[in-house]
Amino acid sequence: MAEIKLTPREQERYDIILSCIGRDITNKEASARLGLKVRQIQRLKRAVEKEEAKGVVHKSKGWPSGNATDGAIVKKVAAFFKQKKHKDFGPTFAREKLANLGIRIGTETLRSLMIKKDLWKPRLRRGPQIVRGWRERKESLGELVQFDGSYQDWFENNGEECLLAAIDDATGKIVRAVFEDNEGVCSVFRFWAAYVEAYGRPVAVYLDKFSTYKVNCKNAVDNAEFMTQFERAMQELDIRVICANSPEAKGRIERLFGTLQDRLVKEMRLAGVRGRDDANKFIHEKYIPDHNARFGVPAKNKADAHRPLPDELRMKLSSIFSVQSKRKVNNDYTIQFKTRWFQLEATQGTAVYKRDEVIVEEHLDNTVLVRLKDTYLVYRELLARPKPVRIPITALTRRKPDWKPPADHPWRKSF
C-alpha cells in the first residue's frame, strides 16, 4: 500500500479511531474528543478497518477542483504578464485589460494566480487607525469641487510632471485634469480660467494649505489683508475657498491621485503617450470619460450648482486671473515695478496724482497693465532707470583762517 501523508488533524482523528477499534475508548468518548456524532464515529471505524489511514482522508483530496480555472486561460494570463508593458499591472486593472482581449477571468481568481506566480504581493493588514468622522457627499454637481496638484514621473522618463485635477464631491467625477509646469499661481490661474469658462463657477472649492492658496502665517488668521492671489481671484468670482486641515479631510482628491498614479500611468504607456501636449489631449478625450463612467456615481440632486459666468465677469476674466501688485505713482509720474520703470503719459482717462496707489497686473499672456481703480492707464516703458538730479557741491579750495577778535572786542577787556 502506498504511503499516505496525513495532516496533523487527520493523524489525530486516525489515532482516536484506532483506539476506538482496539476498545481502548468507547464510541461515545471518541465522539466527544472529535466533536462528531456517534454515527459518524461508526462510519469512520468501518472505513479505517477497510482502508486503514486512507479511511480518514476526504475522498476529494488530491483531485482537481470542479471550478478550477481552465489551463488554457492560465497560459494566456501568463503570456499577458510576460510583456514588459504589463509587468506592474494590479489584479483589477489587469482583469479589465484581459477582458478587452477576450479573456474572461474573475478579479479574485486572477489575484490568486498572480500571488501564486509572485506577480502580486498581498497588502499587509494595517494597524489601528485614527478614527475620523465621515462627511456625507454634497447633493449637487458643482456644490463642492476638490482641487489639488500631484508631482509624479507620469511619462516614465525619469522626470517629474505636475498634474492639476479637480473632482466633484457629489458625483466623484473628474471635472478637469491637465498637466502644467508646477502648482504655482500662473499654472493654477490657467486651470481655473479654463474651468469657469467651460463649466461656470462652483459654489466652493476645497483644497490644502499650500502657499499658492493660503498665507500660512499666524498673523494672517482672520485678517483679510493677508490674502493670496488665488483667494483674491476666487473672492472676485464669488467662489468660497475652504482649506483642509489634513489630507484625510479632502480624501476624495487624495484617493483620485492614488488611482491616477496607478491607472493613468499605465493607460498612457499602453497608448504610447510621452509628451505633455499628447497627454493633455489623451486625458481630456479618452481617460476622463472612461474614468467617470467606471467610478462616477449619480448625484442626489440632478440640478447643476455651477453658476453661469456673467458677461461683466467674462470680460474681466483675464484681469481677475492676473498677478496683481500695488504700486505708488512717483513725483515724476513714473512707476517702479520689479526691475522695470514705467512712465505715465500726460493724457489719461482719469485724473492721476502723485502718490496715487495703482494696481499693476501681470496677465497670463505676459502683458503688463496698470490700473487706477477701474481705469487702465497709458504708459511707456523706460529703457533706462531715471537718474535723480544731483546738485554739485562746491569744494573748498583752501582752509579758512581762524577768526581773531579785534583789540576793542569785549573779550579783550580785562575785569
Per DSSP, the three-state class of 369 is strand
Which residues, at least 6 apart from 349, have a Cβ–Cβ distance to it below 8 Å? Answer: 375, 376, 377, 378
What is the arithmetic mean of pLDDT over 247-258? Answer: 87
Q: How far apart are CA 252 and CA 295, in angstroms?
A: 12
Q: How many residues belong to the chain?
A: 415
Please report, rounded to a whole number, the percentage of residues in the chain having pLDDT higher than 90: 46
CA 237/CA 239 separation, integer angstroms: 6
Of 123, 126, 103, 104, nearest in space to 115 by CA: 123
**How many angstroms separate the CA atoms of 11 and 56, rounded?**
8
Nearest to 152 by CA among 165, 139, 143, 133: 165
Q: What angle do CA 180, 183, 188 make, to 5 degrees?
A: 75
pLDDT score of 86 more than 90 = no
Q: Is 107 helix (H, G, I), strand (E, B) or coil?
A: helix
Residue 257: the pLDDT is 92
The C-alpha cell 491607472 sits at: 263
Query: What pLDDT, on the 0 to 100 scale, is given for residue 409?
Result: 82
The pLDDT value given to residue 130? 66
Q: Which long-range contacts (CB under 8 A, 24 or more apart) does 295-302 make?
A: 295/172, 295/173, 295/259, 296/171, 296/172, 296/173, 297/171, 297/172, 298/171, 299/137, 299/138, 299/139, 299/140, 299/141, 299/170, 299/171, 300/137, 300/139, 300/140, 300/170, 301/139, 301/140, 301/170, 302/140
Contact 323, 356 (CB under 8 A): no
End-to-end Cα, the chain, rounded Å: 152
Q: pTM for this structure?
A: 0.71
**73 pLDDT band (50/70/90 cuts)?**
confident
Q: How far is CA 187 from the centre of its chain?
A: 15
Q: What is the mean pLDDT of the chain?
A: 86
Grid cell digits, residue 201: 463657477
Local structure of residue 140 (DSSP, 8 states) = E
Question: Is the model's pLDDT at 185 over the cut of 70?
Answer: yes
Q: Is the dihedral of CA 266, 270, 276, 281 positive or negative?
A: negative
Buried-exposed string 47-61: b where 16+ CB fall within 10 A, e elsewhere: bbeeeebbbbbeeee
pLDDT tens for residues 106-135?
888 888 888 887 788 887 777 666 666 677
Residue 2: its pLDDT value, please? 52
- Residue of 68 and 185 predicted with greater confidence: 185
* Model pLDDT, residue 193: 95
Cα-based angle 249, 252, 255 (whole degrees, multiple of 5): 110
Is the predicted pLDDT of residue 387 greater than 60, yes or no?
Answer: yes
CA angle 224, 212, 342 (to 5 degrees): 80
Range in 137-141, 207-211, 388-392 the model is least confident about? 388-392
Q: Tell me how far apart the alpha carbons of residues 368 and 365 are, in angstroms, rounded to a whole number.
A: 9
C-beta separation of 27 from 40 below 8 A: no
Cα distances (Å, whole numbers) of residue 131 to 74, 146, 150, 255, 328: 41, 22, 26, 18, 53
Are the C-beta atoms of residues 371 and 361 closer than 8 Å to each other? yes
- Give the Å distances, CA to CA, from 35 to 13, 21, 31, 301: 11, 18, 6, 57
Largest CA distance in the chain: 157
Q: Which residues pair with 358 in a beta bridge?
A: 327
Strands 357-362 and 323-328, sheet pairing? antiparallel
Across 201-209, average pLDDT: 92
pLDDT at 3: 63
H or E segment and range at residue 301: strand 301-304
More confident residue, 223 or 31: 31
pLDDT at 224: 56
Query: CA–CA separation, 201 vs 340, rounded Å?
Result: 35
